[in-house]
Amino acid sequence: MRLTGRTALITGAARGLGRACALRFAEEGADLVLFDLGEHLDEVPYALGTPEQLEHTAGLCRKSGAGVLTATGDVRDPDTVARAVEAATDRFGRIDVLVNNAGIAAPSGKDLHLVEEREWSVMLDVNLSGAWRMTKAVVPGMLARRSGSVVNIASTAGLVGYRHFAGYVASKHGLIGLTRAAALDYAPLKVRVNAVCPGSVRDDPLVDGRMLGEIARSLDVPVHEHEETFVQRQPSNELVEPDDVAAAALWLASDESRRVTGSVITVDGGFTVW
């Protein structure tokens, strides 16, 4: 029960890695604020998490004994972010852990010069600026208490390049830079900021995962072949599981990593060692 007595705010919590983190945190004693968009974005060519999926995540966490508050909103809107943080503070009194997981993988799948202005803007505004807005809203409370942990869910795309994914790669490289800079800003006040870089994560139906499938679609890889295609590039000969990433986030959220800040942890089966 490494997070007993603490409250964690997780963005992108309706499904995928957000749900995996929420379930693992709930098992470890945390109360949770689960935040997700809950609607469609015109620029994104696949369905995003729904309010129903968000409530399903909440129900699963409550079964572990967690107190749960759900909130829908857009990380691109500072007023919505501020309201969610205020509601969380009113309900639980404080936010001890922030997991910036909200992110999109598309629009992608084209050469850089073919990316449209709106496509570039939405990718950076969700994946990079969204994490900045959430951190900006949550960290003051952490600083006042001289404790807190921010965990940014980046990607191996924040460490290496991927053809036809310029916007995604730029946003995740930026998120790692944000992590390192914020870690230096807040280290004297005992607020830690770290990043997790997942590799190819299996689309586990238990968490309604679909990110790997959408990346495959952007690359015109047949759906029935996409897992095998990605496994072939893994030194470990297997895909990463959502709970592998959640376990890394849990460690960074807990006191076990109390001397760790500004770190970038890869959970990629050795992919970035190539």
Active site residues: 168
Helices (H), the chain: 16-27, 51-63, 78-92, 117-124, 130-145, 166-186, 211-218, 226-231, 242-253
Q: What token pair was written down for 40? A: 């469609």
Biggest distance spanned by C-alpha atoms of the chain = 51
Q: What token pair was written down for 244? A: 């592998």
The answer, yes or no, to whether the previous bond of 107 is cis (omega within 30 of 0) is yes
The region that residue 16 occupies, defined by phi over 0 for left and psi between -120 and 50 for alpha, beta otherwise, is left
Task: Kindly report the length of the chain.
Answer: 274
In whole angstroms, what is the distance from residue 2 CA to residue 208 CA?
26
